[in-house]
């Protein structure tokens, strides 16, 4: 890469980061937020300002890499840290992809194409300005497949090792990506078949010859296992070690994916499922099998990508593995819709194919014209997909960006938090941040709360008559009721205790804030 190009990319990356950040700040001002950002904000406040044993929060909050990517910017501003992280992270994604393009293709058309997509595509703008951590998933997804393609070209295990490391980072950015390993089995088998020293060129006949010869069969099995082990042994071992840490510190092998204290997905998936159940019209387009068709509509550029690699069997198999992943995820997690993140994987993959193969096409004029038309359609469809999304947070993003009108996520929590902010310093509120993390995050003063990570939380719950402060209760209509002990049933139980009275201070549909009063503390 020439120095002039390098400087141009650095300047463009900086401008993109500023562009995303301005949009993100604007959206934050008009009231846009999401569950993931609020969860990270609350956990970061615990780490930097909380009092108590924070080891479990620091080590087991999941996904851990996006959490620390957001927490890194908490020194600037707690509330804006996720937005700053997503803006800078998406700009870094652009720089990585643009650098790869410039190294392999001197035609500036393709560089300007990437710039146009990062500036105009609604899906990219969404991940950059919403404060979500999708940018990190896309970065490691791109690097993983980039190194796999490098391995096909060079046949050196160095690139496989780098791909393996990228896959580890991908899993710790989104644990669902671990299932991608299953769909690489046919690909690894194809690579092993093609690596055998046989005169026959056709893959089908190579398989036939290999299975009918004991020596070749043994070589095939050994090669398949060794390649698969090099790629996926480190990621799977990393997951096992991390699960053992969860077992050691939380007494639960799957704490990081099953506990609402560790991950925002538990509550979000539950809320989304409740919303979906109330919708009378079922979205048939989000059914399994039709998901792949939705991908082709969302990202028609992937069709061109597959065409460019049509003569390379394992390149095509590589491009097909994410299709298997999303179909599997739709079946395994049938209660929730696939988010915009999983559709954007194919946009990143399509651009990677252009980076690698576009320069070898002789009819460049025809290719460029086709790409321009497809990208223009794709940008429009990106808007349609967000605007018509079954996921409320994605639809709210469009409303906030274009109409300056959005229902703030956890509006009740925001209003209650505003009330708590006005309470005097030194106020103590017993709350369960498994469900109340939005309230805690909005308050932006972690010292006002007694939370489950603290030693005195359990004693306060068991003996509230000794706790001088307030009690935050989830009402029976609260959709997150099943994830907390602090409910109206709990209130009925403690009402039987002597010398304990509860006064309602603030009431919403989903929450009630009580003042705890006993014979030793009557003033309120």
> What's the N-to-C CA distance of the chain in angstroms?
69
Q: Would you state the pLDDT for residue 336?
A: 78
| pLDDT for residue 1 is more than 70 | no
Lowest mean pLDDT among 299-313, 321-335, 406-420, 459-473: 406-420
Which pLDDT tens digit goes with each residue over 335-355? 778 889 999 999 999 999 999
- Hey, what's the torsion of the CAs at 244, 249, 250, 256, to 10 degrees? -60
Q: Would you state the pLDDT for residue 201?
A: 62
Q: Would you state the pLDDT for residue 19?
A: 97
Q: Would you state the pLDDT for residue 4?
A: 81
Question: What value does the mean pLDDT take over residues 177-201?
Answer: 80
Sorting pLDDT into bands at 50, 70 and 90, what band is 106?
confident
CA distance 228 to 207: 18
| pLDDT for residue 521 is more than 80 | no
Q: Are 91 and 102 in contact, with CB atoms under 8 Å apart? A: no
* Residue 247, token pair as written in the block: 């077992």
Question: What value does the mean pLDDT take over residues 223-246?
Answer: 91
Question: What value does the mean pLDDT take over residues 11-39?
Answer: 93
* Residue 421, token pair as written in the block: 């902010």
Beta-carbon neighbour count of residue 77 at 10 Å? 12
- Greater pLDDT, 271 or 120: 120
Question: What value does the mean pLDDT take over residues 395-422?
Answer: 83
Percent of the chain with pLDDT over 70: 90
Which pLDDT tens digit goes with each residue over 480-515? 888 899 998 888 887 766 567 888 999 998 999 999
Strands of the sheet with 470-474, listed across from one edge: 449-450, 429-430, 470-474, 511-518, 500-507
Burial profile 84-115: b = 16 or more Cβ within 10 angstroms, e = fewer: bbbbbbbbbbbbbbbbbbbeebeeeebbebbb
| pLDDT for residue 134 is more than 60 | yes
| pLDDT for residue 258 is more than 50 | yes
Lowest mean pLDDT among 138-142, 213-217, 368-372: 213-217
**Cα 281 to the center of its chain, rounded Å:** 27
Q: Would you state the pLDDT for residue 96?
A: 96
Strand (E) or helix (H) holding 472:
strand 470-474
Q: Would you state the pLDDT for residue 523?
A: 45
Sorting pLDDT into bands at 50, 70 and 90, what band is 278?
very low
Question: What value does the mean pLDDT take over residues 245-257?
Answer: 92
The mean pLDDT of the chain is: 87
Strand partners, 518: 500, 521
Strand (E) or helix (H) holding 506:
strand 500-507
Sorting pLDDT into bands at 50, 70 and 90, what band is 286?
low
| pLDDT for residue 382 is more than 70 | yes
Residue 26: asked if its preceding bond is cis (omega within 30°), the reply is no
| pLDDT for residue 281 is more than 50 | no
Helices (runs of H) and strands (runs of E) counted in the chain: 24, 5
Strand (E) or helix (H) holding 429:
strand 429-430
Question: What value does the mean pLDDT take over residues 296-318?
Answer: 88
| pLDDT for residue 118 is more than 90 | yes
Sorting pLDDT into bands at 50, 70 and 90, what band is 90?
very high
Sorting pLDDT into bands at 50, 70 and 90, what band is 135?
very high
Q: Are 308 and 395 in contact, with CB atoms under 8 Å apart? A: no
341 phi, psi to nearest 5 deg: -50, -45
Question: What value does the mean pLDDT take over residues 446-461?
Answer: 91
Q: Would you state the pLDDT for residue 355?
A: 93
Question: What value does the mean pLDDT take over residues 423-428?
Answer: 88
428 to 187, 431, 465: CA distances (angstroms): 57, 9, 14
| pLDDT for residue 367 is more than 50 | yes
Q: Domains (ranges, CATH) in the chain?
A: 5-403 (no CATH), 411-517 (3.40.190)
Percent of the chain with pLDDT over 90: 51
Q: Would you state the pLDDT for residue 273?
A: 58
Question: What value does the mean pLDDT take over residues 422-430?
Answer: 90
- Greater pLDDT, 258 or 520: 258
């Amino acid at each position: 890469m020439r120095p002039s190009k390098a400087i141009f990319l650095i300047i463009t990356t900086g401008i993109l980061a500023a562009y995303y950040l301005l949009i993100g700040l604007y959206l934050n001002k008009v009231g846009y937020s999401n569950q993931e950002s609020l969860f990270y904000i609350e956990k970061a406040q615990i780490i930097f300002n909380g009092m108590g044993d924070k080891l479990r929060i620091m080590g087991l909050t999941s996904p851990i890499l996006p959490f620390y990517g957001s927490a890194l910017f908490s020194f600037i501003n707690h509330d804006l840290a996720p937005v700053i992280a997503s803006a800078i992270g998406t700009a870094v994604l652009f720089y990585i992809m643009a650098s790869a393009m410039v190294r392999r293709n001197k035609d500036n058309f393709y560089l300007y194409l990437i710039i146009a997509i990062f500036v105009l595509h609604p899906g990219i703008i969404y991940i950059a300005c919403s404060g979500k951590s999708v940018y990190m998933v896309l970065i490691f997804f791109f690097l993983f497949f980039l190194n796999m393609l490098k391995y096909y070209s060079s046949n050196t295990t160095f690139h496989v090792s780098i791909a393996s490391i990228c896959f580890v980072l991908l899993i710790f950015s989104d644990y669902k990506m671990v299932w991608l390993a299953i769909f690489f089995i046919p690909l690894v088998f194809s690579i092993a078949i093609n690596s055998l020293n046989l005169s026959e060129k056709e893959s089908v006949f190579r398989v036939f010859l290999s299975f009918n010869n004991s020596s070749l069969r043994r070589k095939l099995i050994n090669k398949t296992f060794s390649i698969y082990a090099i790629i996926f042994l480190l990621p799977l071992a990393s997951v096992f070690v991390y699960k053992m840490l969860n077992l050691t510190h939380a007494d639960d092998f799957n704490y990081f994916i099953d506990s609402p204290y560790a991950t925002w997905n538990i509550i979000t998936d539950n809320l989304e499922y409740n919303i979906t159940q109330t919708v009378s019209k079922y979205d048939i387009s989000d059914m399994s099998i039709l998901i792949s068709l939705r991908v082709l509509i969302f990202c028609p550029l992937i069709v061109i990508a597959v065409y460019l690699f049509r003569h390379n069997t394992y390149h095509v198999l590589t491009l097909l593995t994410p299709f298997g992943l999303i179909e599997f995820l739709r079946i395994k997690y049938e209660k929730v819709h696939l988010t915009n993140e999983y559709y954007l994987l194919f946009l990143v993959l399509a651009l990677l194919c252009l980076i690698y193969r576009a320069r070898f096409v002789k009819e460049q004029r025809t290719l460029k014209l086709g790409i321009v038309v497809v990208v223009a359609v794709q940008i429009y469809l990106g808007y349609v997909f967000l605007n018509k999304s079954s996921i409320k947070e994605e639809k709210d993003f469009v409303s906030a960006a274009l109409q300056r009108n959005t229902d703030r996520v956890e509006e009740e929590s925001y209003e209650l938090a505003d009330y708590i902010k006005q309470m005097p310093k030194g106020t103590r509120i017993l709350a369960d941040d498994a469900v109340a993390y939005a309230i805690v995050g909005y308050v932006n003063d972690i010292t006002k709360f007694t939370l489950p990570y603290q030693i005195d939380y359990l004693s306060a719950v068991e003996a509230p008559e000794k706790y001088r402060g307030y009690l935050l209760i989830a009402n029976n209509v609260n959709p997150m009721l099943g994830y907390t002990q602090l409910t109206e049933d709990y209130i009925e139980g403690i009402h039987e205790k002597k010398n304990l009275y509860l006064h309602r201070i603030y009431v919403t549909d989903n929450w009630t804030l009580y003042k705890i009063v006993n014979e030793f503390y009557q003033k309120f």
